[in-house]
Amino acid sequence: MANAPDTEKAKNKKPKGPSVLKVMQSVAAGALGVQSNRRHEEDFESHSPLPYIIGGLLFTALFIGTLVLVVNIVLSGQ
């Protein structure tokens, strides 16, 4: 019964969410369409979709902002 306190602690701990790096990698791979099936399944096993939704929105905003900036730079050079 020496392991009983360890299993009690494991049951009481909340599962950790995905790391910021993992969310960024998943969002980038998903946006480019190169995400593996294994990684895709890991993402869906996550307890909350919120980090991926926020990451996707930030990625989209950054992508659109970059496109607008590049177009403005190109057009101002004429």
| pTM tops 0.95 | no
Per-residue model confidence (pLDDT) at position 18? 81
Per-residue model confidence (pLDDT) at position 33? 85
User: How confident is the prediction along the chain (78 residues), in pLDDT tens digits per residue?
Assistant: 555 555 555 555 666 778 888 889 889 998 888 888 888 888 888 778 899 999 999 999 999 999 999 999 999 986
Per-residue model confidence (pLDDT) at position 15? 65
Mention every residue, 6+ apart, whose C-beta is less than 8 A from residue 44. Answer: none
If DSSP states are collapsed to H, E and C, what string results for the chain?
A: CCCHHHHHHHHHCCCCCCCHHHHHHHHHHHHHCCCCHHHHHHHHCCCCCHHHHHHHHHHHHHHHHHHHHHHHHHHHCC
